[in-house]
């Protein structure tokens, strides 16, 4: 092999290895340990939205929506924010706007997971939404109606990033533990501390 051929061979040989490494990184599923009691992040990424919501068709009461943007480099596995039973799974057709844009929450294709969470002898509805984006258009929801979930349990993924939201009713919110711009980890970072268990400020 000539010197020129050798220079051309090594980059060509490294490309498949680099591509394989990226695929392994995209679909990694590391074990996670919660950093405290409370409602956990459903996805790795950056918090892009902490917004009060009214009694819409999903939450049915006033509460707060926390949106997390997943980049191509984030772990793509989504996890349950709390112990709960799966009440319903709904698919919604839509577009593929950049998931960082606020309007993507309503405009993009999505899967809505309705969870029934029991606390203090009462049942509350918690909503998790997997939202497609400009690049990530493959939503996977590995659940069935009636399934019992542990906090932090795997519920699916959005292949190659995008956006995941969790909607919590006001009665479950003692203190919000994250802010816009903060990096969070699925099944590890506590997004919301419930009443009576607020972390010290």
Residues assigned a catalytic role: 162
- Provide the 10 A C-beta neighbour count for residue 132: 25
| Strands 154-159 and 138-141, sheet pairing | antiparallel
Contact by Cβ (8 Å): 70, 44: yes
Query: Dihedral, CA atoms, 113, 74, 201, 122, nearest 10 degrees?
Result: 20
Gap between the Cα atoms of 129 and 46, Å rounded = 16
Any idea which residue has 């699925």 for tokens? 186
């Amino acid at each position: 092999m000539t010197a020129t051929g050798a220079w051309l061979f090594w980059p060509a040989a490294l490309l498949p290895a680099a591509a394989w490494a990226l695929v392994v990184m995209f679909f990694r599923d590391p074990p996670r340990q919660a950093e405290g009691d409370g409602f956990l992040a459903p996805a790795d990424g950056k918090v892009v939205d902490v917004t009060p919501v009214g009694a819409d068709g999903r939450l049915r009461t006033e509460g707060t929506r926390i949106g997390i943007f997943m980049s191509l480099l984030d772990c793509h596995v989504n996890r349950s924010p709390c112990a709960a039973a799966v009440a319903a799974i709904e698919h919604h057709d839509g577009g593929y706007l950049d998931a960082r844009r606020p309007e993507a929450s309503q405009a993009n294709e999505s899967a809505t997971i309705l969870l029934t969470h029991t606390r203090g002898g009462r049942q509350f509805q918690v909503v998790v939404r997997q939202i497609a984006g400009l690049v990530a258009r493959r939503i996977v929801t590995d659940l069935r109606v009636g399934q019992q979930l542990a906090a932090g349990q795997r519920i699916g993924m959005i292949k190659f990033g995008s956006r995941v939201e969790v909607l919590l009713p006001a009665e479950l919110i003692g203190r919000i533990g994250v802010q816009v711009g903060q990096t969070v980890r699925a099944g590890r970072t506590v997004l919301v501390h419930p009443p009576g268990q607020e972390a010290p400020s």
